[in-house]
Each structure stands twice: as structure tokens, then as C-alpha cells.
Structure 1
Amino acid sequence: MASTASSNGGFCTRFKPHILMVLAQIGYTFLYFITEASFNHGMNPNVYITYRHIVSGVVMFPFAYFLERKQRPKLTIALFVEIFILSLLGVGLALNMYFVSMRYTSPTFVSSMVNTIASLTFIIAVVLRLEVLDIRNPRGIAKVLGTLVSLAGVTTMTLYRGPIMKQLWHPLIHIQGTTGNNHESWLKGSILTVASCITWSIWYIMQAFTLKRYPAQLSLTTWMSFVGAAQSAVFTATVQHKRAAWTIGFDIDFWSIVYGGIVVSGLIIFFQLWCTEEKGPVFVTMFNPLSTILVAILAYFVLGEKLYLGSILGAVIVIIGLYLLLWGKEEDQQVHSKEEEQSRVAYDEQKELTIQVVTSTESKVSAGGP
């Protein structure tokens, strides 16, 4: 019994980042449909982002303040500027473009395009030497192939539709859509989606640098929420002059803000920061395809949205690519652990040798030797 509990504990410890990222993608899956319902109800996306991050900051503040009092570094002006830029990338720019694009396209399309973030992040990480890439090693080849295969799967889901899969039953839930069907609206939404993906890739990379100088994930999440809310409020005030847009009732708008603030901008961002510090930004972004698959499944079985053969083929290809890259990253982790162990052993041996030399010298001095 004890050995079973120990093995389960070891499994959870080893795969904790994987479990957290799967939970994060499940959380993102529900976000797509809750926000779509809220926007179709009349909620302004920019107002939604502002309120959502206010809720996130208020909820995360007490946890950050009390749990990270001893490990939170001093906030300098330079560090605050860095957090300001980080918030601008991840909230002010990326999220505003992202949610506005959803009004012109669809949750399935947006969730598919988000998968390009992994490939973009991998390329930037390799250029900045945040990601080790050795194509002479099988693990290096696996990471490259995994990225390319995943990108091929995303491309398949985006460009190839194929025949429509037969609907098995009537949809359980119906969300009245108001997304633009004309070419101009779809093109506008596509451009905004691509722009948000590029911004998000830079945001993920910058997180890795900021966490080295500010290794307090709860506090960083709180700061990004408050600063991002302020940035979004300023932007919204310049484009939205109707006071009624800021008024919400106790309906889907309220619950979408609460869910987005507590679960997504609070809990999930904390998960991502922790996993970024442990595994790197590429590891975090490679789980995005799971959300696409879950969105397609939920849209088909629950909401009655059309499911095409291309989406199924693309999903299978994406899973294969994800497995290849995770295998390569797992090998990286094992090599890194071995290097740390070797460094620790070498340090202990050097320390022991130094102690022996000092002890020998002190013995000679006490005996009157030279």
C-alpha cells in the first residue's frame, strides 16, 4: 500500500506540469463558449477584458501577498516597466485583438489559429537560445518534427474542411450567433487573430526572462492583472464612449467575467507561469492544440456545430506532433537533471577536497611544520 502511494506520488510529481497544462486547456475550452455567449448577448469585448482582470487581481492579491512575502523580490522601477510591457503584450494587445476577432469569426476557427503560437514560440526560443536544439541528437530531431507536424495539423484544420460529419442528435444547447459571415468581417477577424498569436508568442518568451528576475508567480499574476486591467480600461475609454457598455447585469455577462477572472486570468495564468519556469515557454504553448480538439468535440456533440473531416484529421496530426515534441522535451529534462546531479557531485567533491587541504594545513601549522 505504501509503495503504491509512493509510486502515485512520484507519478504526480513527475507529470505535474503536464497535468496542470491539460487542466488549463480544459479551462480555456469552456472560456470560448462562455465568452461567445456573452458577446452575442451584447457584452463589449474590451469592457469584458477590463472587468475580467480587475476580478483576477482582487482574487489573487491576498494569496500573492501572504504566500509570497518572503520570496517576492523588491519591485524596482526597471522591473515595473518590464511587468508593464509584459501586461501590455499579454492583456492590452493580445487579448483585445483576440476577443474582438471572435466576434467576426467563430470559436472553432480562433482556437485552431491559436495553435500557431507553439511553432512561433519554438522558433523565437531557439533564436534567443532559450531552447536547446541539437539536430544531431534524436531528441532535437523529435522537437523539430513535433513542431512541424503540429503546424501541419493546424494547417489541415484551418484550410481543409472535407465532408461534413453526420450529426448524431439535436444540439443540447443553442447559442444564438451574431458573427459576421461576409468576407470582409472574416478577413478582419483572421488578421486580428494572427496578430494576437504573434503578440502572445512574444509574451510567452518574455515571461521566461521576467521570471528569472521576479520568481514569484502569484505576485506576477496579480501585477499583470491590475496593470493589464488599467491598460485595457484606458484603451476601452478611447474607443467606447457609451456609458451603458460598462453596465452589466446578473446574467451571462456577469458569469463570464467571474469565470474569466478567477479561472483563466487568475488560476490558469499562475499554472502557465509555474510551468514556464519549470519547463520553458515552448512546453506551455505545445498544449494549445488540446483546447482546439476539445472545442471541436464540444461544439459538435453539445452545441450542434458542424464538424468536418478535416478537423478530425488535423486533430490526429496535432496529437502526433504534440507527442513527438513532449518526448523531446522529456529527454531534455532528463539530460538537464543528470547535468545538475553531476554538477552537485563535482561541487561536493571539490568542497570535500578543500576541507581536507585546509585541515592538513592547520595540522602542519599546529605541529610546527613549514
Structure 2
Amino acid sequence: MKPSSLHNVYLRFKPLLLMVLAQLSYTFLYFITEASFNHGMNPHVYVTYRHIVAGIAMFPFAYFLERKIRPKLTLALFLEIFVLSLVGVTLTLNMYFASLRYTSPTFVASVVNTVAAVTFVIAVVLRLETLDLRNARGMAKVLGTLVSLAGVTIMTVYKGPAARNPGHPPIHIQRNNIIQEQWLKGSFLTIASSITWSAMYIMQAITLKRYPAQLSLTTWMCFLGAAQSAVFTVIVARKPADWRIGLNIDLWSTIYGVSWRIRQDLYCD
């Protein structure tokens, strides 16, 4: 095959390749984060640190790339972004990462795939999405939503036998009987985070119409979400040791989470 033909094939399948790479990086995020939590890192401290660093890293991009399109920030708009951060960062991610302590990366990844379906349901209820059952596209949306929600329900109420790995994995995740018994608690946390995550997408779409600067909005959400999460963490985790982080998997998981968030925002932009 000629080089020009290979280049054409690459351009044709580039969106699909990027989607696959994004999902692979997302999958690795689950495993390295859970390994960090099992190492002793507090999930709420992780969310706080991750968004502090992400906000600092995003600030230069937001400031220079959007200085001509960034509208004036009014008090009403700031309060709207504050609520968006509360829903999209503080509530969603604290429940989301806390659920990893009680379930598994496989379960969390499966449930998160229902965010699109839940977003569709909320949009239909709020009349932001038109549902037409008379054409194939409308029927496909409904069928996909039902299948997705049914799969999550089955995974929540039924947990099969553990699969043993005969080798030695690079990231070792320890579990004990207490955590296994709290599977249902983790399932509810994951589902609740998916619902708030879906609500955040709808709220963000509305906010972007009044504040059409995506990187700046993301930076504000990172800083506000970090502040909100820090307040919550101080309330629920009063041990000063929880805030310490060393040159170990806790630091690497935080850096990877920040880099993944930045790649996601820059790519979406």
C-alpha cells in the first residue's frame, strides 16, 4: 500500500483511533487511582489536589487563548458557575472516586457508560431533547437507553465470582472482606455520580451559551471545585496525615489524573 493511501486511511479512521486511545487512557485512570486509594490516599483529598493542579495548569491556556472571547464575569454568572462546580466536580467526583473503594474499576467503567443514556433521559424530561418514536433514530435512542440502564441494574444487584490472575500484575490492588461487603454502597455512589454527571453536562451546555469560553469555564470549575472539595474534606477527614503525599503512586495518580483532564478539555475545545 502506498504512503498516500495509508495517510488517507489514517485520516479516515482518525476519530475512531482517538476515541479508542481516550478510552484506554480512561481505563488506566481507574486502575491507577484505585491502587492509590488502596495505598492509603483519601479520595476526597485526591479530588482536591487534582483540581488545584488542573486549575493552575489550565489557567495559561484559558487566559491567552480565550482573552478575546471571554465575556465579563458577573455575580449572577459566577453563582451559576459555582453551582455547576458543586454538581460537576464536588458531588460527582467525590462520589465517583469514593465508589472505587467499594466496587471495582470494571464496574465503575461500565456504569459511567450510562452517562449518555441518563443525560438523554434528563434532556427529554426537561424538553431539551425531542423524542420521536416514529423514526429509526428515535427508536434506537430509546432501545440503547433501556439496554444500558438494564445492564447497570444487573451489575448492581449481581456480583459474580472473582476472576483470578495467575501472573503478577504491575499494579497490585488489595481487597478485604469488609470492602467486598460494601459493594452495594459503592454501586449507589457510582449511580448517583453518573446522575449528577449527566446533570452537569446539561447545565454546562446552558452556561456555555452565556459564557462561551470553554477553557476559562473549566479553569473556574477546577478552582471552585477544589475549594468546595477541600471544605468537604476538612469536615469528613480531620486527620492531617490524609493531606500528605509523597513520591509514590499517590503523586503519580494525581499527575496522571490532571494530565488526562487537560487532554480531555483541550481535545474537546
1:167-182 pair list within 5 angstroms:
170-178=167-175, 181=178
One-letter amino acid matched to 1:262: S
Counterpart position of 1:100: 98
Match of 1:242 among 239, 242, 247: 239
Q: Which has the higher contact order (CA 8 A, sep 6+)?
A: 2
Query: Shift in Å at residue 155 of structure 1?
Result: 4.1
Query: Shift in Å at residue 85 of structure 1?
Result: 0.9
Counterpart position of 1:35: 33
One-letter amino acid matched to 2:100: M
One-letter amino acid matched to 2:69: Q
* C-alpha distance 100-157 of structure 1, shift in aligned 2 (>3 A): closer
**In 1, Cα distance between the equivalents of 2:222 and 2:175?**
29
Counterpart position of 2:149: 151
Query: Any unmatched runs of 5+ in structure 2?
Result: none
**In 1, Cα distance between the equivalents of 2:50 and 2:91?**
15
Counterpart position of 2:210: 213
CA contact (8 A) 1:94 1:197 kept: yes
Match of 1:121 among 116, 119, 123: 119
One-letter amino acid matched to 1:109: F
One-letter amino acid matched to 1:198: I
Match of 2:200 among 198, 203, 221: 203
Match of 2:22 among 18, 21, 24: 24
* C-alpha distance 5-195 of structure 1, shift in aligned 2 (>3 A): same
CA contact (8 A) 1:91 1:228 kept: yes
One-letter amino acid matched to 2:207: T
* C-alpha distance 176-21 of structure 1, shift in aligned 2 (>3 A): closer
Query: Shift in Å at residue 166 of structure 1?
Result: 8.5
CA contact (8 A) 1:105 1:189 kept: yes
Secondary structure of 1:170's counterpart equals: coil
**In 1, Cα distance between the equivalents of 2:145 and 2:23?**
18
**In 2, Cα distance between the equivalents of 1:98 and 1:145?**
26
**In 2, Cα distance between the equivalents of 1:186 and 1:158?**
8
Query: Shift in Å at residue 44 of structure 1?
Result: 0.8
Query: Shift in Å at residue 180 of structure 1?
Result: 5.2
* C-alpha distance 60-237 of structure 1, shift in aligned 2 (>3 A): same
Percent identity reads 64
Secondary structure of 2:245's counterpart equals: coil
Query: Shift in Å at residue 126 of structure 1?
Result: 1.5
**In 2, Cα distance between the equivalents of 1:33 and 1:183?**
17
* C-alpha distance 115-57 of structure 1, shift in aligned 2 (>3 A): same
1:330-349 pair list within 5 angstroms:
none
* C-alpha distance 65-20 of structure 1, shift in aligned 2 (>3 A): farther
Secondary structure of 1:103's counterpart equals: coil
**In 2, Cα distance between the equivalents of 1:247 and 1:182?**
24
One-letter amino acid matched to 2:40: G
1:267 maps to 2:252 = no
**In 2, Cα distance between the equivalents of 1:183 and 1:262?**
31
* C-alpha distance 163-51 of structure 1, shift in aligned 2 (>3 A): closer
For structure 1, which segment, 172-181 or 75-84, has the greater mean C-alpha deviation from structure 2 after superposition? 172-181
CA deviations 1:273-311 (Å, max 9, x no partner) are x4xxxxxxxxxxxxxxxxxxxxxxxxxxxxxxxxxxxxx
**In 1, Cα distance between the equivalents of 2:68 and 2:259?**
24
1:1-370 pair list within 5 angstroms:
11=12, 16=15, 21-159=19-157, 170-178=167-175, 181=178, 185-264=182-261, 266-271=262-267, 274=269
CA contact (8 A) 1:115 1:151 kept: no
Secondary structure of 2:212's counterpart equals: coil
CA deviations 1:179-210 (Å, max 9, x no partner) are 55467522322222222122111111111111
For structure 1, which segment, 214-223 or 45-54, has the greater mean C-alpha deviation from structure 2 after superposition? 214-223
Query: Any unmatched runs of 5+ in structure 1?
Result: 275-370
CA contact (8 A) 2:110 2:152 kept: yes
One-letter amino acid matched to 2:60: P
Paired residue total: 268
CA deviations 1:160-189 (Å, max 9, x no partner) are 56687786x524335141455467522322
Larger Rg belongs to: 1
CA contact (8 A) 2:156 2:187 kept: no
Query: Shift in Å at residue 68 of structure 1?
Result: 1.0
**In 2, Cα distance between the equivalents of 1:251 and 1:36?**
14
CA deviations 1:16-60 (Å, max 9, x no partner) are 4x6655443222211111111111111111111110001101111
